[in-house]
Each structure stands twice: as structure tokens, then as C-alpha cells.
Structure 1
Amino acid sequence: MPGSIQSLERAAAVLRLLAGGERRLGLSDVASSLGLAKGTTHGILRTLQQEGFVEQEPVSGKYQLGAELLRLGNSYLDVHELRARALVWTDDLARSSGEAAYLGVLHQHGVLIVHHVFRPDDGRQVLEVGAMQPLHSTALGKVLSAFDPVAHNEVAEGELAALTARTVTGSAEFESVLELTRSRGWGSDLEETWDGVASVAAPVYDRRRMPVGAVGVTGAVERLCDADGIRSRLVAAVRDCARAVSRDLGAGRF
């Protein structure tokens, strides 16, 4: 039976070390903790950094786990499982809110709609499962960008195109929007993607408390908003739905 590959064992040891204890570690810390020479450790870290598994903080020079690990970790969660767990809750969300409900995941620099529940009325609607939405302007996209490091990296590297007169296109302003989204636990889109349309969304987590998607509702501004912005009852309904789906995925109560 073939033996193990030492370089892979050492790389795995580095990743495990960075995953526990201190959030960031310097080269000397990693080398001494694993009993490796600094040159060997630096080579491993440099390779892991090139592959996106490790990131280096520019100011301190310390290392931490990279966003690519989150992408790989999330791959275990089949999108169909996510959708299956969300079916009942998104149906309830559409019924209680009176608006169309959406479930989205990060895919190719955008938001892939994996489930769509029609608004519960007789109006003409088009099924949008499989459609792509932008990360920087939609409520689903802002939530993913705020809570998922991989999504944040992708939107930071792309162009913040002006889709309407209200779209945020400045990097500093967009980061402020994401900070607000993180602080309140939900994101909104007030005519930033389509004129006359608003939306609100919240993150969905798996059993490791990793963000794996976002759920929200979309509809006409006059229905979703009041003088203070998105109606509070809709924010509460969306957040309750996101929590319920997360609990079904093993995230527990939060």
C-alpha cells in the first residue's frame, strides 16, 4: 500500500493549525508549532496562498485561512438539499408576505436563483429559477457579499455597474452598505436593480454556521416600503424564514 505524501501532510497540518486557536499566525508561529524549518513552512504557506487556501494580512504579514476553503467546504451541501429544506418555509413566506419569495446561492460572480415561489395573487408571473442576479445591487446579492467571504471577494474584483439611478457604484460606499447589512442581519434593494422594485433578504446558514445562501422577497416599492424603508413586518418574516431554513440545515437556534 503506497505511503502518505509528506508535503500534503504538512500542508494539511498548516491548515488545521490556522483553523484553530489564534485567527492569524506569523511564519515563525506556524513553523515552531509544527516543528518545521522556516524555509519549508514559507514554501508551504506560499503555495497555499497561491491556491487561495491561505491569505496573508498585508500589514502584519500574518496568515489566515483563505476564502477558497469556504468555497470547497460549501460544495458538500448540495443545492437540491438546500432547496428541499427551504420549500415549506419559502411557501409560508410568500403566503404571509403576499410577495414573491426567492432562494439564491453564489454562482459565477452572481446570484443563482434556485427556488422561486410566486406571489399569491392572480397577476401574471414568470418562473425565475435558473436566472442570475447581480451581487452588488440585489438584496440577495448584498447578503451573500456581506456574509460570505468568497462572494465578497468576487464582487470586490468586479465592476459595480449602474443598473438604475439608485445603484451604489463606489467601492467605499458599497463596503458601508455591506457593513450595515452585517450589523442588522439583513439586506435590502430599493430600486437599485429595477425601477419600481424593492426586495429584502437574509442569510441562510448550514450546521457549521457557514453562509450557504440567502432568502428574500421581491415586489413593488409601494407594497414593500413605507416612509422608513422596507416594512418591518416583511423584514421580520424574511429573517424568520432564513432562521427556519438554517435550523433545518443544522445551524441550531440563533
Structure 2
Amino acid sequence: MLVQSVRRASKILQELAVAGPRLGVSELAERIGVAKPTVHALLRTLEAEKLVVQDVETGKYLLGPALLHLGNAYLDTHLLRTRSLTWADSLASRANEAVWVAVLTGDRVLVVHHAFRPQGTVQILEVGASIPWNTCALGKAIVAFTGEADREALLAGELPVLTGASINDRDQLADQLEQVRRVGYAVEDQESALGDAGIAAPVFDRSGLPVGAIGLVGPVERLLAEQARETHAILVREVARNLSRDLGAARTAGPRGV
């Protein structure tokens, strides 16, 4: 019973994170398939721990401040993030573009570090951003080098469309992943946000499997310009290789020695 309660509480937090920001008891009960009294009791417990808070005006619930502390603790102890700080800053300086480092969580990528573009204007910190894997270079770079079973499961799962350029055709995505394995990096062309692009490469640890990805993000006209694209790709692959070695990966990490 205790395990079931933990699972239900987790589902409540996930619904507030994805479908929120504010949901009532009835909405949550319907979404997670649990009786309203049970959901109400769980919400009271979560509220006592500051994992959720109740909006005074509407009576609906939203995520609480304690989750921020947990999230920061996760980032502070995440090995890829801590090891990537110097490499990401170096890549941002050399490419004069913003750099994201991300990990795969389920069927989405989570940005765990963001190095600003050195000469940019006002920029928004994107740490904590969660993006469908199929709509970004970071996600494709990771998935291309995961085990075959995991890759097939992700291709068979939900493939969201965020813009008119997003790709949700499984065969087309499979072809893209094969291309990523050949060249060692992935490209995103306005697939998660209009006007934005990305170039990313996988990061491996001593197991030889990808633990995340690092990549450049920026305006499509600058990042994917004919003369700049190959230069950016070379820089990204180089930094990804160095970061991988810093994490204990062999020089031939990856299925094809990327």
C-alpha cells in the first residue's frame, strides 16, 4: 500500500509538471485514475512537505518550492553536469554560441547545463528545460547511440510535433539516427522552436554507452549557415570526445568509434 501511495504521489507531481501549472482535485483524480478523497489526502501530505502548494484564490494545486531544492541538489550532484562546466564554457567561447548539455529522461531530454553565448544579448537560462527527444539535436545524438531495444522503443513511442518542421515519421527518424551514427553528430533545424537550430554530439562514459549530449543552440541562419555548419559540427564532436574521455570513455567509445 505504501509503494502504491508513493507511485500515486509521483503521478500527481508529474501531472502538475506536464499538464499544470494549476490543477484541482477532480482534474488530478481523473488524470491519474484515483478517487477524489485519495487524491485529496495525498495532496495534503505533499503540501505539508512543501512539494505542492494550494492557490488561495482558485483552490487548485501547483508545484511547491521544495522541488526546487531537490532539483538543484540533483544538478549539483550530476556527474555529467559537473564535468561539463569547463568544456561547455570552452565550446561557447570558441563557437560564440550558446551551449546546452542534456540527459535523456524517458522520452525527453533534460537540459542540465547552459553556457550562455559570450557575445549575446539578454539570454534566458534554460537549465531544467524538458524537450521531446525527436525534436532536438541533443535527443537525436543520444538516442542514435543507445542500445537497439531502447532505440526501437523510443521510435515506437509518442513522437510529439512542436513546429511544422518537427519529424514524427518513424522511418524518417530512423534514417536520421543512422546518419547520426555515421557522422557522429545530430542537427536540428527549427524542429522545437521556429528560428532556432542545434548541433549536438553524444557524450559517453566508461561503459561505452551515451550518458548525455552536448551541443550548440542558436538562430538557424547563424548556426546552420553553409560556411559555419561544418565548423560548428567539428567543434561539437571534438568537445564531446574530450568530455567523454574525462568521464572515463575509451578513445573508441560508441558503436563506430565516434
Give the structure-2-normalised TM-score. 0.64
Task: Say if 2:164 is the partner of 1:165.
Answer: yes
Contact 2:116 2:123 (8 Å CA) reproduced: yes
Structure 2 unaligned blocks of 5 or more: 1-75, 253-258
Task: Sort the Cα spacing of 1:86 and 1:214 in 2 relative to 1 into closer, same or farther, 3 A.
Answer: same
What secondary structure is seen at the aligned counterpart in 2 of 1:125? coil
| 5+ residue gaps, structure 1 | 1-77
| Distance in 1 separating the partners of 2:167 and 2:215 | 20
Question: Deviations 1:87-121 (Å, cap 9, x if unpaired)?
Answer: 11110000111111011001132001111101112
| Partner of residue 229, structure 2 | 231
Q: 1:168 to 1:123 in 2, by over 3 A?
A: same
Q: What are the equivalent positions in structure 2 for 1:147-186 lying under 5 Å apart? A: 147-149=145-147, 152-186=151-185
Q: Does the 8 Å contact 1:79/1:114 carry over to 2?
A: no
Contact 2:144 2:177 in 1 (8 A): yes
Q: Which residue of 2 aligns with 1:132?
A: 130
Structure 1 residues 150-159 or 216-225, which shifts more? 150-159
Counterpart Cα distance in 2 of 1:134 and 1:161: 7
Paired with 1:186 and 1:130, the residues of 2 have a C-alpha distance of 23
AA matched with 2:133: L
**Are 2:114 and 2:127, in contact at CA under 8 Å, matched by a contact in 1?**
yes
What does residue 217 of structure 1 align with? 216
TM-score (norm 1): 0.65
Separation in 2, partners of 1:225, 1:122: 17
Output one character per residue of 1:110-133: Cα deviation in whole Å (capped at 9) or x when no partner: 001111101112411111111101
Letter in 1 for 2:250: G
1:188 aligns with 2:199: no
SS of the residue corresponding to residue 147 of structure 1 reads coil
Q: Which runs of 4+ in 1 moved over 3 A?
A: none
Q: Secondary structure at the match of 2:78?
A: helix
Contact 2:132–2:160 (8 Å) recurs in 1: no
Counterpart CA distance in 1 for 2:229 and 2:205 is 27
Q: Please give the residue correspondences for 1:11-160 in structure 2 after superposition, counting only pairs within 5 Å.
A: 80-149=78-147, 152-160=151-159
- Report the AA paired with residue 96 of structure 2: G
Q: Quote the offset at 1:154 in angstroms.
A: 4.6
In the TM superposition, residue 158 of structure 1 has moved relative to its aligned partner by 2.2
C-alpha change, 1:208 and 1:127, in structure 2 (3 Å) is: same
Residues 109, 154 of structure 1: 8 Å contact kept: no
Query: Structure 2 counterpart of 1:121, which letter?
Result: Q
